[in-house]
Amino acid sequence: MKIAVVGTGYVGLVAGTCFAESGNEVTCVDVDERKVRALQEGRVPIYEPGLEELLHRNSAAHRLHFTTDLGKAVSSAQVVFIAVGTPEGESGDADLQYVLAAAEGIGKAMKQYTVVVDKSTVPVGTADKVRETISKVTSVEFDVVSNPEFLKEGAALEDFLKPDRVVIGTSSERARRIMGELYAPFVRTENPILFMDARSAELTKYAANAMLATRISFMNDVAALCEKVGADVEFVRKGLGSDKRIGYPFLHPGCGYGGSCFPKDVKALVATAREFGLELDLLRAVERTNARQKRSLLAKALRHYGDVADRTFAVWGLAFKPKTDDMREAPAVELIEGLLGKGARVQVHDPVAAKVAERYFGNRVLYAPSNYAAAEGADGLFLVTEWNEFRRPDFKKLKSLMKEHVIFDGRNIFDPVRVKEEGFAYYGIGRS
């Protein structure tokens, strides 16, 4: 099948590469000439485990192409995916200007019946707006489908190639048949393709991310209560997770969620509800809890030291989660800005996000080549992102490097008893 993917950001690049891997001929389109040239040369602009290898293989097999020519890519395609950005608007809603601009360009370029697919995360009613936009510029027959993505950064290839479910929103039997054929190679393990109307598909994406964000914020509220009453959140978490109605996923307390999805999607869902006269009080509380949690590590440091001015701190982990270089809404950003704002010096290390961090902090922090180098001379260590290489440090070496021996564990990856036995003061999230 011939496919065009408009937008080579995280979603578009992963989707296009994976569709090519299943034997389709895919052309990815972007307006950024430098980005397209880099992709043509095999240079991937984002960090995602396994993506570069898959891109090289499919480019070499001439199944995956990159271009700035939207007309050429769309005119021969049976299915066109819109995977452009939907940045947060001033009121928290999703800004659809890039989606609708892509839709207009697609409409002008179509030469035959085409299935136009909203792959970007978009609010309820977007499929109708895309359909209206295309109808104004073409008489060619087409259908609009909502097909939200459910990719976890750091595990996107696995999620796409072996999905829990594929959600397809359409009222067209013709489009349903084509989309079913396209996704058939990915659902042979009996994981379902869920067909529904477009509005339900659009809402499913937001509802899923809002539910996951709610679980995180709920657990962070429980962790805060644990600290007040002297309980240990790890015991509480195990007691909750063992209930089959609840389960363990997303019950890990920490220093807040970030990334490109949860913060933006929760805000967008709240904004959509408000348009219809409904206040989603639970999700507004989720946002407030997350904002508080991002300040929790700095608050613990201020309680311990009283004043952090002229002190030096190590920060391990900058990305919002492991296996990505994405720092959008990352808890580390707020922590570091808070430390710098109070006169502290900050030494940071992240296995892949250092270059991205330079766009946030410039030369205001020291970028260390290793986690131990970041800890040298530090008055305290903040663990913010739970990369595997941080989980089992040499505490004796760490102690010899640090000026003062204090650890702020924002992800509860260390054993408090072990850390204290090694001579460190330990502050976790909800740990007794």
Hey, which residues are catalytic here? Answer: 261
Angle of helix 331-341 versus helix 281-294 axis, rounded to 10: 50
Q: What angle do CA 408, 411, 416 make, to 5 degrees?
A: 60
Residues making up the annotated binding site are 30, 35, 86, 121, 150-153, 205, 250-254, 258, 264, 321, 328
For every residue of 355-384, which 3-state class applies, written as one string? HHHHHHHCCCCEECCCHHHHHCCCCEEEEC
Q: Which residues are annotated as a binding site for NAD(+)?
A: 30, 35, 86, 121, 153, 264, 328
Annotated binding residues for substrate, as ranges?
A: 150-153, 205, 250-254, 258, 321
In three-state form (DSSP H/G/I as H, E/B as E, the rest C), the secondary structure along the chain is: CEEEEECCCHHHHHHHHHHHHCCCEEEEECCCHHHHHHHHCCCCCCCCCCHHHHHHHHHHCCCEEEECCHHHHHHCCCEEEECCCCCECCCCCECCHHHHHHHHHHHHHCCCCEEEEECCCCCCCHHHHHHHHHHCCCCCCEEEEECCCCCCCCCHHHHHHCCCCEEEECCCHHHHHHHHHHHHHHCCCCCCEEEECHHHHHHHHHHHHHHHHHHHHHHHHHHHHHHHHCCCHHHHHHHHHCCCCCCCCCCCCCCCCCCCCHHHHHHHHHHHHHHCCCCCHHHHHHHHHHHHHHCHHHHHHHHHHCCCCCCEEEEECCCCCCCCCCCCCCHHHHHHHHHHHCCCEEEEECCCCHHHHHHHHCCCCEECCCHHHHHCCCCEEEECCCCHHHCCCCHHHHHHHCCCCEEEECCCCCCHHHHHHCCCEEECCCCC
What φ, ψ does residue 61 adopt, rounded to 5°?
-85, 5
> Taking the mean position of all CA atoms in its chain, how far away is CA 163?
17
